């Protein structure tokens, strides 16, 4: 009897999906794919150490640099919180081409250095920062390749691109602007938080791209460990 129990346990362990929270869906069943992806969001965000997937909420972005339109930016030691609450708006799959559209709100905190012109205002500063983002729509399109290992087929991420559209607003807080000059700092913050959409498009794209890249990096690890049969119906 003991031997039979061990045999059954062994069978269950081998047969069980590595991602039981995923519902395999057919390529034309967009409702199923959306529901499955939504269920996966908080689980993936919490991390899956048994699959080598690091947590995405919070996510940590070590360094982002940008030099564009006369504005130099550097974000350091950024912590991103809130991705576990993203809403899945749409999922599509056509062969090895897939896309997902999400609506997210997040808070970013870290250290920054900025210098140059922020639209029409000269700006400089070095210190801590906080950016609150409300309802950003992010659409990621990616292409996959198939590989075979140990008798199973797996996806591997080939190329990806994304678009984003901030709809709900953004709030910017930069400590130590102009070496602590309150009057100049208040002027910049009032301008930034009034013209949030234009400022976001000027300041945020590098850090948004870094966040998307971080998500893609962890999803790629997930695909590397979980066979296609557990993720999709052909």
Reported as a single tens digit per residue, the pLDDT across 150-200 is 899 999 998 999 999 999 999 999 999 999 999 999 999 999 999 999 999
Q: What is the pLDDT of residue 193?
A: 95
In the chain, what are the domain boundaries?
22-230
Beta strand segments in 3-120, E:
59-68, 71-81, 87-94, 97-118
pLDDT over 50 at 6, yes or no: no
CB contact at 8 A, 87 and 38: yes
CA dihedral (157, 227, 104, 54) positive or negative: negative
> Under DSSP, is residue 200 helix (H, G, I), strand (E, B) or coil?
helix
- Mention every residue, 6+ apart, whose C-beta is less than 8 A from residue 112: 73, 74, 75, 76, 125, 126, 127, 128, 129, 174
The predicted-structure confidence for 42-62, as pLDDT tens digits, reads as follows 999 999 999 999 999 999 999
**Residue 181, C-beta contacts closer than 8 angstroms, at least 6 positions apart:** none
Secondary structure class of 152 (helix, strand, coil): strand
Tell me the average pLDDT across 127-141: 97
pLDDT band at 84 (very low <50, low <70, confident <90, very high): very high
pLDDT category at 68 given cuts 50, 70, 90 is confident
Quote the CA–CA distance of 213 and 205 in Å, as a whole number: 12
CATH number for the segment(s) 22-230: 3.15.10.30
Helices of type H across the chain: 2-15, 30-46, 182-194, 196-203, 205-225
Q: Which pLDDT value is given to residue 4?
A: 32
pTM: 0.89
Residue, of 137 and 69, whose pLDDT is higher: 137
How does strand 87-94 pair with strand 97-118? antiparallel
């Amino acid at each position: 009897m003991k031997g039979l129990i061990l045999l059954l346990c062994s069978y269950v362990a081998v047969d069980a999906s590595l991602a039981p929270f995923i519902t395999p869906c057919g390529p034309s069943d967009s409702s199923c794919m959306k529901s499955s992806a939504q269920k996966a969001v908080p689980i993936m965000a919490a991390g899956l150490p048994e699959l080598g997937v690091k947590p995405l909420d919070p996510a940590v972005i070590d360094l982002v640099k940008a030099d564009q339109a006369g504005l130099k930016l550097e974000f350091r030691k950024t912590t991103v919180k809130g991705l576990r609450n993203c809403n899945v708006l749409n999922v599509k799959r056509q062969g090895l081409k897939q896309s997902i559209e999400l609506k997210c709100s997040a808070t970013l905190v870290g250290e920054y250095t900025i210098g140059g012109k922020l639209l029409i205002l000269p700006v400089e500063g070095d210190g801590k920062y906080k950016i609150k983002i409300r309802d950003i729509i992010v659409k990621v399109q990616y292409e996959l390749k198939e590989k075979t290992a140990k008798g199973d087929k797996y996806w591997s991420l080939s190329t990806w691109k994304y678009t984003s559209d901030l709809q709900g607003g953004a709030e910017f807080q930069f400590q130590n602007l102009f070496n602590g000059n309150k009057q100049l700092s208040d002027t910049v913050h009032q301008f930034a938080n009034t013209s949030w959409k234009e400022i976001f498009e000027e300041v945020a794209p590098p850090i948004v791209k870094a966040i998307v890249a971080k998500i893609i990096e962890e999803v790629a690890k997930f695909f590397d460990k979980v066979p296609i049969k557990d993720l999709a119906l052909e």
